[in-house]
Chains A and B, each alone.
Chain A
């Protein structure tokens, strides 16, 4: 199979003016991918499917990724001349920059005809709120239909051109998108024996100190019948 660079160059030659960037994966998996601009994404997907060399006729997987807004602090060293005439001082300057958030949809493409793959393509939305749209690739690969619905349900990405964009896992009245990083779960927490970590935080929020009941009377003498559940050793400490 061609390398991703070759595929990118061919895409750029075929679609002048389209945006195609190679996104490298620095991890051990080294699964690099192509990020496609939204304007030509559907046409480029069709090209990837029908091109005689690639024949990527099978989309195995559609995934959503949430990239929340991120504050990035960059520090630069500037030399400031001393007004008193001494040697110039090196001062570290910190600048804050907000990296805007976005949602991303990742498609894993294989070729059944040529027995190669995967080629991974990404589509990135403009932001996470009012412009969370990408073109649907269901018209290109039928197998995307339910998976795009799932990404719509759990991440809130709207797929333009999807034939039947409804929630698939949660009920229709549900309004949140549970896989987003800022999702707040409903507070139906219940006490459990050994809370720790985030569960302990939830327990504290759910059971304020005033809700705690004083200890039950001491356990009955040995041998006395008792059917009570074993008393919890320790309630979460406020």
Chain B
């Protein structure tokens, strides 16, 4: 679905396809930029636990993440576009993960890979595990599984590419990095019992319990 305000006036998608069949390509700078961005998403070379093994498998010859333009795992956050949080985020590790995220240049994207990164997974009841990286940084794609298969990671990457391709540079659906505001996410401190603060209220609110009425 496209935003009427930003589309070329009077031309529907079908008409543009028709024109393309005749050898006339009508496009927008935004679409070209998005296309380029989506085909070269460089992940940060960074693994946290068992899920990282599947991420490594996805990058090797058999699954070959290079088919999707993401084979360049960068060892520096300054050169990376994508943070794959692949594994358990302990509370001791969480500030470092947020710091890495802050050091990545915009536009940047985050994939939470596996049950641990989404919610704490098998360690949800533990005192020392962060119950989901989305408590501190905004997550674009969640990949469930323990661990997710490499195919699932590739599927998540394709979903992300889809999101990038349809990103908007203006209007109500502007992508996150073009919205006004501070793009620095507060790094939690080590408290005497827990992280301080335990979550960033700007990106995460505890879920509400809905009680179903029974007759």
**Chain A interface (Cβ < 8 Å from any Cβ of B):** 169-176, 178, 183, 185-186, 188, 190-192, 199, 207, 211-216, 231-236
* A232→B210 contact, CB < 8 A: yes
Query: Which residue in A178, A186, A213 is a CB contact (below 8 Å) of B209?
Result: A213
Given the complex of chains A and B, what is the CA–CA distance between A56 and B210 in angstroms? 61
CB of B192 within 8 A of CB of A185, answer no
Q: Which of B's residues lie within 8 Å of A, judged by CB?
A: 91-92, 119, 124-125, 127-128, 131-132, 190-194, 198-199, 206-213
Interchain pairs with CB closer than 8 A, number:
72
Q: Give the residue name and chain of the A residue nearest to B95 (CB).
A: A171
The answer to whether A173 touches B128 (Cβ under 8 A) is no
List A contacts of B132 (CB < 8 A).
Answer: 190
Q: Which residues of B contact A215 (CB under 8 A)?
A: 210-213
Given A170-B128, A199-B125, does the pair A176, B193 have CB atoms closer than 8 Å?
Answer: yes
Asked if B194 and A191 sit within 8 Å, CB to CB, the answer is no
Neighbour of A213 across the interface among B124, B192, B208, CB < 8 A: B208
Residue contact A191 to B207, C-beta cutoff 8 Å? yes
Q: A176 vs B208: C-alpha distance in the bound complex, in angstroms?
A: 30
Contact A173 B209 (CB under 8 A): no
User: How far apart sit A177 and B199, CA to CA, in the bound complex (Å)?
Assistant: 23
Q: Report whether over half of chain B's contact residues are helix, strand or loop; otherwise say mixed.
A: loop
- A234 to B213 alpha-carbon distance, docked (Å): 9
In the complex with contacts A170-B92, A178-B127, A188-B198, A232-B212 CB distance below 8 A: yes
| Closest-CB distance, A146 to chain B (whole angstroms) | 16
Picked from A172, A191, A192, the residue with its CB within 8 Å of the CB of B190 is: A172
A231–B193 CB distance below 8 A: no
Q: Which secondary structure dominates chain A's binding surface?
A: loop
* CB <8 Å contact, A235 and B211: yes
Extra 7 A-B pairs, beta carbons < 8 Å, given A178-B127, A191-B206, A235-B210: A171-B92, A174-B193, A183-B127, A188-B131, A212-B210, A214-B210, A231-B210
Across the interface, which residues of B come within 8 angstroms of A170, CB to CB?
A: 92, 128
Do the beta carbons of B124 and A192 come within 8 Å of each other? yes
Select which of A175, A191, A231 is within 8 A of B212 by beta carbon: A231
Q: Name the A residues within 8 Å of B119 (CB-CB).
A: 190
Alpha-carbon separation in the docked complex, A113 to B50 (Å):
37
Distance between A157 CB and nearest chain B CB, rounded to angstroms: 19
Task: Knowing A178-B128, A190-B131, A199-B125 are in contact, say whether A211-B209 is a contact too (CB < 8 A).
Answer: yes
Contact across chains for A188 and B211 when beta carbons are under 8 A apart: no
A178-B127, A178-B128, A199-B125 known; A186+B193 contact, CB < 8 A: yes
**Which residues of A have CB within 8 Å of B199?**
188
3 nearest A-B pairs in the assembled complex, by CB-CB distance: A186-B194, A171-B190, A235-B211
Which of the residues B91, B128, B193, B207 comes within 8 Å of A190, measured between beta carbons?
A: B207
- Chain A residues with CB under 8 Å of B213's CB are 214-215
> In whole angstroms, what is the CA distance A231 to B214 when docked?
13
State A102–B194 Cα separation when bound (angstroms). 26
**Known contacts A213-B208, A213-B209, A213-B210; is A175 also within 8 Å of B193 by CB?**
yes
Q: How far is the CB of B146 from chain A (nearest CB, A)?
A: 15
Contacts of A175 in B (CB 8 A): 192-193
* Cα-based distance from A232 to B213 in the complex (angstroms): 11
When C-beta atoms are compared, the residue in chain B nearest to A236 turns out to be B209
**Best-surrounded residue of B125, B131, B208, B212 (most CB of chain A within 10 A):** B212
Bound-state CA distance A87–B91 (Å) is 70
Q: Looking across the interface, which residue of chain B has its beta carbon closest to that of A237? A: B211
CA–CA, A174 and B189, complex, Å: 11
| Bound-complex Cα distance A212 to B213 (A) | 12
Report the bound CA distance from A169 to B127 in whole Å. Answer: 12
